[in-house]
C-alpha cells in the first residue's frame, strides 16, 4: 500500500485548520481542565469547543439497545456533533477528553491537515490514534513507520482498511466532503449493540469508508482512561493493551512503558508458546533475512 509522508511546517505557517470539539462529561471537570491546559500550552485552545457528553444513564430508557450506558453515551455524543455540521465548510476534528496531545501537536496536526487537503478525494476519515491489534503483520507495518520517523522525523499517513483496530473515535478527523456520508452510515449504528469504534471498524473493513491513520500517533490516551464513572476500572488485560497502544505515540518512551508494564505470571505460557515468542523476536531483529 502506498504510504504518504510529510515533515511538519514551521510554527509561523500554522493556522486553525479544523472545526474542533472535545467531548467531556459534566462529572469530569478534572479531565477538562487537564485538556484545556494542554490546548492552551499548544496555542490551539481557540480551535476547539466543548461538547457536553451525553450521559447514557439518563437516556437509556429511550434507546432500545444492548449497549452499556457508557457506550451509548459515546455514540450519541459523536452523532450530535456530526448532525449539527452536515454542511460544514471545514474538516471536523473530534476527540475525547482522556486524549493526550503530543508536544508538537500544533505543527504536526497542521501538517497532516495540509497534506490531506492535497489528497481530499482519497479519504473520508483520518485517525491520529487507535488501538492496533498486536499481530506480527500489523506490528511490522507500524514499526517500519516508527523507525522512519526516528530516522528523518517524517510522519506517515497510511491506509487503515485492512487493520484490526479499536478506539478509533478517541481522535477522529472527518473530511468536510464526507461528514454527511459518515453521519448517514453511523446514525443508527448504536442499535446494533456494538461500541462505536467496533462499528466504525466494520464500515472501514468493508470498504464503506476510506480511512487513514497517522504513524506515529499524534494523540494518545492518558492514564485517566483506565477508569470511567460508568464502566469502572480497567481490568489487567485492558491495561496491558493500552500500554501497547501507547508505544506508537510520537512522544512515547518505550523504556518507561516497559518499566510501568503490569507484572503478571507467565506460568501458563507453554513451551510451544515460548518458542513462538522467540521466533517473533528473531523476525523483528536485524538478523532476519527474508527468503
Higher pLDDT, 259 or 72: 72
Identify which of 3, 222, 264, 8 has the alpha carbon closest to the alpha carbon of residue 129: 222
Q: Buried b / exposed e across 33-52, counting CB within 10 Å, b at 16+?
A: ebbbebbeebebeebbeebe
- pLDDT of 63 higher than 50: yes
Whole-angstrom distance, CA of residue 175 vs CA of residue 177: 5
- pLDDT of 2 higher than 60: no
- For residue 257, what pLDDT is reported? 84
Averaged pLDDT for residues 167-193: 96
Site of grid cell 469530569:
28
118 backbone dihedrals φ, ψ, rounded to 5°: -80, -15
Whole-angstrom distance, CA of residue 156 vs CA of residue 70: 33
Determine how many CB atoms are found less than 10 A away from the CB of residue 246.
23
- For residue 59, what pLDDT is reported? 96
* pLDDT band with cut points at 50, 70 and 90 for residue 96: very high
Q: Give percent of the chain with pLDDT exceeding 70.
A: 89
Site of grid cell 510451544:
272
What is the value of pTM for the model shown?
0.88
Asked if 102 and 41 count as a contact pair (C-beta separation under 8 A), the reply is no
3 state DSSP class of 273: helix
* pLDDT band with cut points at 50, 70 and 90 for residue 227: low
Whole-angstrom distance, CA of residue 59 vs CA of residue 76: 10
- For residue 10, what pLDDT is reported? 44
* Structural domains of the chain, ranges and CATH numbers in brackets: 4-252 (3.90.550)
Cell readout for 262 is 503490569
- pLDDT of 179 higher than 80: yes
Cell readout for 284 is 523483528
Digit-coded pLDDT (tens) for 132-161: 998 888 998 999 999 999 999 999 999 998
Digit-coded pLDDT (tens) for 200-215: 999 999 999 999 999 9
Q: Report the chain's mean pLDDT, rounded to a whole number.
A: 88
Whole-angstrom distance, CA of residue 169 vs CA of residue 130: 8
Averaged pLDDT for residues 76-104: 96
CA dist 26 → 31, 227, 229, 258 (Å): 10, 16, 11, 34
Amino acid at each position: 500500500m502506498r504510504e504518504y509522508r510529510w515533515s511538519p511546517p514551521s510554527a509561523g505557517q500554522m493556522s486553525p485548520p479544523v472545526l474542533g470539539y472535545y467531548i467531556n462529561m459534566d462529572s469530569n471537570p478534572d479531565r477538562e481542565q487537564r485538556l484545556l491546559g494542554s490546548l492552551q500550552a499548544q496555542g490551539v485552545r481557540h480551535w476547539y469547543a466543548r461538547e457536553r457528553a451525553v450521559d447514557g444513564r439518563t437516556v437509556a430508557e429511550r434507546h432500545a439497545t444492548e449497549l452499556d450506558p457508557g457506550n451509548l453515551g459515546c455514540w450519541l455524543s459523536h452523532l450530535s456533533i456530526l448532525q449539527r455540521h452536515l454542511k460544514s465548510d471545514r474538516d471536523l476534528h473530534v476527540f475525547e477528553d482522556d486524549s493526550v496531545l503530543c508536544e508538537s501537536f500544533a505543527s504536526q496536526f497542521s501538517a497532516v491537515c495540509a497534506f490531506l487537503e492535497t489528497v481530499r478525494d482519497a479519504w473520508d476519515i483520518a485517525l491520529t490514534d487507535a488501538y492496533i491489534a498486536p499481530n506480527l503483520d500489523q506490528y511490522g507495518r507500524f514499526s517500519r513507520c516508527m523507525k522512519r520517523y526516528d530516522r528523518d522525523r517524517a510522519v506517515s499517513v497510511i491506509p487503515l482498511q485492512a487493520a484490526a483496530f479499536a478506539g478509533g473515535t478517541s481522535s477522529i478527523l472527518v473530511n468536510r466532503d464526507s461528514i454527511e456520508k459518515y453521519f448517514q452510515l453511523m446514525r443508527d449504528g448504536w442499535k446494533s449493540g456494538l461500541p462505536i469504534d467496533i462499528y466504525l471498524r466494520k464500515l472501514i473493513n468493508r470498504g464503506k469508508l476510506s480511512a487513514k491513520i497517522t504513524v506515529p500517533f499524534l494523540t494518545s490516551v492518558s492514564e485517566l482512561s483506565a477508569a470511567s464513572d460508568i464502566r469502572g476500572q480497567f481490568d489487567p488485560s485492558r491495561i496491558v493493551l493500552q500500554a501497547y497502544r501507547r508505544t506508537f505515540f510520537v512522544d512515547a518512551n518505550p523504556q518507561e512503558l516497559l518499566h510501568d508494564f503490569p507484572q503478571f505470571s507467565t506460568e501458563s505460557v507453554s513451551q510451544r508458546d515460548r518458542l513462538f515468542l522467540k521466533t517473533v523476536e528473531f523476525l523483528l531483529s536485524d538478523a532476519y533475512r527474508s527468503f
